[in-house]
């Protein structure tokens, strides 16, 4: 999942005044320097605005009024006599970051336990269906020969080429494969291929073509593949998609090995609240949770976090 993969990445800040990365306008050293120059009656030194001068040019008339238009009022707010005094706000009563109740914290949240159970059961069913259909029945895995859709520059068109599959990462097979490619909750299906002597990896922190469709608004659609078992290519984003398994893998991964390799949800639950998680993952859970007590379990969780049933 992207949230977990990017957990150690530093956030990117862009200053609204100098447009450099790494700080915001209230901590901008260039704005502070320009404010001090303005207070001393000196000319504003626009050479400090490296990125802006690259955009407009050192002699651009835009730079002559840059501080007056975009910095002066903000500088007075942060550094001037009119700056607002810091007020210590009374501390709110601590509450659980997952369900919002004030009687406990995340470590003792029963709503989190309920969500984890729902997700893990749905994820288990999804992974089992993936294993049965693609790995066990169709022979998908390292050593399989597959027809891979690629763009051919010489023909200026998409063509299918036979490639040797070198990797299928079982940890990347998750219910969150079904999320949008741009979603933070998306898990890219990681696969490796050998094509024309070159190694190709899809799903390694980049867009990963889907093997299947998912649309909860159309129940008649096959949720894992179409009537032929694999998704038919439809456009640019389907470049690199497997359109056919030419020859199955000689040795597919065992059920025991597959079951032991999965992506945990615990870290994500510690960083998001129940309402947000359900808004993104609820439709997938609702479809793949296959027990008879589905309505009871889902309604109990939704009620516990304040979601209308």
Mean pLDDT by 10 residues, the chain (309 residues): 66 84 90 93 91 85 88 88 68 89 93 96 91 88 87 78 92 85 81 88 60 37 36 44 86 93 87 93 91 96 94
- Interhelix angle 294-305/110-130, rounded to 10 degrees, is 140
Question: Would you state the pLDDT for residue 233?
Answer: 38
Q: Is the pTM of this model over 0.75?
A: no
Question: Would you state the pLDDT for residue 3?
Answer: 67
Contact 32, 40 (CB under 8 A): no
Question: Would you state the pLDDT for residue 82?
Answer: 60
Question: Would you state the pLDDT for residue 215?
Answer: 34
Question: Would you state the pLDDT for residue 239?
Answer: 53
Beta-bridge mates of residue 192: 167, 201
Question: Would you state the pLDDT for residue 226?
Answer: 39
CA distance 79 to 70: 15
Question: Would you state the pLDDT for residue 281?
Answer: 93
């Amino acid at each position: 999942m992207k949230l977990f993969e990017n957990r150690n990445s530093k956030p990117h800040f862009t200053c609204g005044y100098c447009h450099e990365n790494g700080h915001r306008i209230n901590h901008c050293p260039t704005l502070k320097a320009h404010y001090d120059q303005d207070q001393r009656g000196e000319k504003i030194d626009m050479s400090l605005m490296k990125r802006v001068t690259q955009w407009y040019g050192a002699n651009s008339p835009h730079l002559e009024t840059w501080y007056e238009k975009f910095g002066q009022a903000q500088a007075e707010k942060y550094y001037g006599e009119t700056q607002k005094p810091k007020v210590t706000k009374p501390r709110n009563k601590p509450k659980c970051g997952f369900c919002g109740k004030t009687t406990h914290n995340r470590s003792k949240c029963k709503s989190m336990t309920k969500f984890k159970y729902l997700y893990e059961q749905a994820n288990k069913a999804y992974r089992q269906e993936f294993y049965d259909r693609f790995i066990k029945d169709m022979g998908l895995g390292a050593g399989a020969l597959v027809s891979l859709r690629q763009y051919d520059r010489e023909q200026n068109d998409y063509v299918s080429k036979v490639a040797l599959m070198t990797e299928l990462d079982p940890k990347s097979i998750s219910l969150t494969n079904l999320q949008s490619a741009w979603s933070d909750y998306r898990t890219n299906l990681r696969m490796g291929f050998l094509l024309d002597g070159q190694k190709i990896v899809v799903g390694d922190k980049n867009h990963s073509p889907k093997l299947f469709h998912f649309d909860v608004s159309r129940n008649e659609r096959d949720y894992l593949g179409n009537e032929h078992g694999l998704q038919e290519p439809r456009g640019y984003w389907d470049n690199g998609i497997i359109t056919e398994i030419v020859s199955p893998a000689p040795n597919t991964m065992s059920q025991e090995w597959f079951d032991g390799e999965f992506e945990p949800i615990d870290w994500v639950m510690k960083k998001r609240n129940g309402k947000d998680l359900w808004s993104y993952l609820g439709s997938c859970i609702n479809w793949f949770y296959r027990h008879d007590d589905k309505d009871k379990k889902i309604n109990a969780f939704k009620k516990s976090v304040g979601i209308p049933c």
